[in-house]
Amino acid sequence: MIIWLSAHLVDILLVLAVLLVVGLSARSMILAKKAGRSSCGCNCSNCAMSGACHAKKSAKQANNLPNG
């Protein structure tokens, strides 16, 4: 087992480094989402998917009118 570990030490370290980078990136995206920031950092009005991310407000919600 020790021989196998010593033969693949570089591979193991590279995989651990990649997992660390991916984990930190995911953590950063989650924290940004919780803080209300955009993940892309761009203006939503210029985004092709802005309609999918942010639902359009109805006229009642936009005017703050009570339902009914």
pLDDT tens, 15-38? 999 999 999 999 998 988 888 776
Q: How many helices (H) and strands (E) does the chain have?
A: 4, 0
CA distance 52 to 37: 16
Task: Give the max Cα distance, the chain.
Answer: 74
Both tokens of 3, joined, read: 């021989």
**Mean pLDDT along residues 9-16:** 97
Give the mean pLDDT of the chain.
78
pTM above 0.85, yes or no: no
Provide the residue ranges of all domains of the chain, joining segments of one domain with +.
Answer: 2-62
The Cα–Cα gap between 53 and 62 comes to: 18
Residue 7, pLDDT above cutoff 70: yes
- Percent of the chain scored above 90 by pLDDT? 38
